[in-house]
Structure 1
Amino acid sequence: MRAARYYGRGDIRIDELPDPDVGPGMVGIDVAWCGICGTDLHEYLEGPIFCPTHDTPHPISGATLPITLGHEFSGVVYDVGAGVDDIAVGQHVVVEPYIIDDNVDTGPESTDYHLSKNMNFIGLGGRGGGLGEKIAVQRRWVHPIAVSVPLDQAALIEPLSVGYHAVDRSGVKTGDVALVGGAGPIGLLTAAVLRALGVTVVMSELSPLRRQKALESGVADHAFDPRTTDVAAEVRRLTGGKGADVAFECTSVQIVLDTLMDAIRPRGVLVVVSIWGKRSDFDMHKLVMREIDLRGTIAYVNSHPATIELVESGKIDLAPFITGKIGLEGLVEEGFDTLIHRNETAVKILVSPSGKDL
């Protein structure tokens, strides 16, 4: 099989590899589609970060560079290992791509396995990846999805689960007003979850294409360009002077965080969804004097079933967020380069490792 493997900063190669071994408790998946994530771009430009190095194996997976990339993917089951009796060959599936120590409780009642020591992700920390034609995954992390959901849209379940977990962390309620800072993939998908729950959504975004996407897809009620609009003032106007009930920071840009702080109501909740590679110049006085509740969020925890239900029920349509489809050969020039240098022109670019359906 072919796979896109990361050898180090700026070095991704398409390699020929043996098909994975589908051992006991494992599910073999023919990968249909895999999304390119911002984390993949950071690894390419600045890594290794989540990825191990050539000399230091990941403490759980044991993997070293090179590793197969890709953690946002969907596919079709082609084999199941001994002991797997609740998934059948031919089923459509998505993967919750965790690498977590076997001693950690990952049961349905757990709320913190995603915070466990040495946690990492399939497609970053080893164990194959969605940018390979096939992968074998532990049954625990494989989630069946209805055939009524197209496999290209199913590849967005993973980032949608990030949005679902962030919304869950916020405590937002039906009828509340939310401000989302940044209409990239995670911002748009967080907004999709909010709208599905009956929340009024205001978005702040520089890119005209992404603002248009937010409005046309119906995930935002209002979308403003912060270069020409005082977003905080507009939010207060829309809420009778009160301010947003919740806000979601999805950019890791200081001025966006400052805007959210100004736009949120006293005792509102501000959720930081983005990964910050630097320290923030945070206004602690404003947080204290207005009793703002600041919360962090990372990935997801037992979020996939509820996220999948939102898509299967038709409450969320993922089709509008797919703005490009490519094969493995175009991964760097058509995929990475577009998202690094022209990210205002795209939302989610999907890769077909096999080239099927392109």
Structure 2
Amino acid sequence: MKAARFYDRNDIRIEEIEEPAPAEGEVLISVAWCGICGTDLHEYLEGPIFCPTHTTPHPISGETAPVTLGHEFSGVVAALGSGVTDLEVGDHVVVEPYIIDESVDTGPTSKDYHLSENMNFIGLAGRGGGLAEKIAVKRRWVHKISKDLPLDEAALIEPLSVGYHAVERAGGVKEGDIALVGGAGPIGLLTAAVLKAQGATVIISETSSLRRQKALDSGVADYALSPTEVDIPEEVKKLTNGKGADLAFECTSVNVVLDTLFDAIKPQGVIVVVSIWGKPASLDMQKLVLKEVDLRGTIAYVNNHPETIKLVESGKINLKPFITGKILVDNLVDEGFDTLINRNETAVKILVTTNPSFSLDISN
């Protein structure tokens, strides 16, 4: 079967590899669509980071490079390994793409398996990936979805779950809450979508006019402001009767954005850092102390996929506006990575398929 394989920095190859078979307790999935994540871009430009090297295997998967990429994907059940009785061939599914040690409690009440030692992701540290025709995944990580939900939109449930968990880390949305999101990239937009679905008034701060318009057109933001045109903290105060935002989400890994959130948050407000920082940040501790700001981190998701799926299936979140491109896996680097690296203002989520019979029209 065809697959996109990560060999090393700036070295991703489209190759023919052996098709997997489902072992006991596994589900074989025919992949429909797979999104390109910012993490994939970092691996391509700066890696290996999450991916193993050629000489150092991942401690849980045991795999070395090359590995198949892709962790944001949807598909159809193609076969069931022995012991899997609660799914059927033909079911539509998405995957919570974790690689976690067998000794870790990943049950429905766990709130910390995503923080376990050596945690990593399918499609980065091994065990196949969504940028392939098929993948075998342990039943625990497979989530059934309604066949009424288009499979292209379903591929965005994984990054949407990141936004869901970020809002959960903030304590959820209370009636009348006003939330400020710093950055309207994919995660910023999807975090805003969760906030809107839960009843918040959402303000987005973003320098790109195209991204601000996407936030407004998709309905995930009530206000989209440019920090190069207005004083964001002052505008937030005007919109909150001088109080400041109740919740704020840092989705850029840019220090000035974090500083802005501290100026715009209300006393005793909550700031959640969603982005991955590749370098140390500076922080004015007096702002944190004198306003009693609650600064929190968030990473990925933990038992959030079921509730995230419900939000989408109920119609409270429409994922279609965020699909800005569809390509064949053969064009992964030239049309996918190149666009997101060099023209990222023009794209939110580019989806990839190995199936040439699928329509690449984003209106479908």
Percent identical = 73
Residue 73 of structure 2 is matched in structure 1 by: 73
One-letter amino acid of the counterpart of residue 281, structure 2: S
2:188 & 2:356 partners in 1: Cα distance? 29
Q: CA RMSD for the aligned pairs?
A: 0.6
| Alignment map for 1:163-174 (pairs within 5 Å) | 163-171=163-171, 172-174=173-175
Q: Is the 8 A contact 1:326 1:352 kept in 2?
A: yes
One-letter amino acid of the counterpart of residue 352, structure 1: T
1:178 & 1:337 partners in 2: Cα distance? 33
1:355 & 1:272 partners in 2: Cα distance? 39
1:235 and 2:223 aligned: no
1:252 & 1:92 partners in 2: Cα distance? 35
Q: TM-score, normalised by structure 1?
A: 0.99
SS at structure 2 position matched to 1:354 = coil
1:355 & 1:157 partners in 2: Cα distance? 23
Deviation string 1:262-309 (CA, Å, 9 cap, x unpaired) is 100010000000000000011111101111000000000000000000
| Alignment map for 1:120-135 (pairs within 5 Å) | 120-135=120-135
1:267 and 2:268 aligned: yes
1:36 and 2:36 aligned: yes
1:282 & 1:159 partners in 2: Cα distance? 27
2:272 & 2:356 partners in 1: Cα distance? 38
SS at structure 2 position matched to 1:131 = coil
One-letter amino acid of the counterpart of residue 325, structure 2: G
Structure 1 residue 43 displacement after superposition: 0.3
- In the alignment, structure 2 segments of 5+ residues that lack a partner are 360-364
Residue 222 of structure 1 is matched in structure 2 by: 223
Structure 1 residue 354 displacement after superposition: 2.2
Residue 117 of structure 2 is matched in structure 1 by: 117
SS at structure 1 position matched to 2:29 = strand
Structure 1 residue 33 displacement after superposition: 0.2
1:283 & 1:139 partners in 2: Cα distance? 46
2:68 & 2:175 partners in 1: Cα distance? 41
Residue 144 of structure 2 is matched in structure 1 by: 144
Q: Is the 8 A contact 1:247 1:260 kept in 2?
A: yes
1:351 & 1:52 partners in 2: Cα distance? 23
One-letter amino acid of the counterpart of residue 277, structure 1: G
1:177 & 1:153 partners in 2: Cα distance? 27
2:116 & 2:272 partners in 1: Cα distance? 21
SS at structure 1 position matched to 2:33 = strand
One-letter amino acid of the counterpart of residue 196, structure 2: R
Deviation string 1:188-213 (CA, Å, 9 cap, x unpaired) is 00000000010000001111111111
Residue 88 of structure 1 is matched in structure 2 by: 88
2:281 & 2:242 partners in 1: Cα distance? 27
**Number of paired residues?**
358
Residue 10 of structure 2 is matched in structure 1 by: 10
Structure 1 residue 174 displacement after superposition: 2.9
2:332 & 2:54 partners in 1: Cα distance? 22
SS at structure 1 position matched to 2:94 = strand
2:247 & 2:15 partners in 1: Cα distance? 45
Residue 157 of structure 1 is matched in structure 2 by: 157
Structure 1 residue 25 displacement after superposition: 0.2
2:153 & 2:85 partners in 1: Cα distance? 26
Structure 1 residue 69 displacement after superposition: 0.4
Residue 314 of structure 1 is matched in structure 2 by: 315
Q: Is the 8 A contact 1:202 1:223 kept in 2?
A: yes
Structure 1 residue 84 displacement after superposition: 0.1
Deviation string 1:25-78 (CA, Å, 9 cap, x unpaired) is 000000000000000000000000001110000000001000000000000000
SS at structure 1 position matched to 2:286 = helix
1:300 and 2:324 aligned: no
Deviation string 1:109-140 (CA, Å, 9 cap, x unpaired) is 00000000000000001000000110000000
Structure 1 residue 11 displacement after superposition: 0.3
Q: TM-score, normalised by structure 2?
A: 0.98
1:170 & 1:271 partners in 2: Cα distance? 6
2:309 & 2:221 partners in 1: Cα distance? 21
Structure 1 residue 229 displacement after superposition: 1.1
Q: Is the 8 A contact 1:328 1:355 kept in 2?
A: no
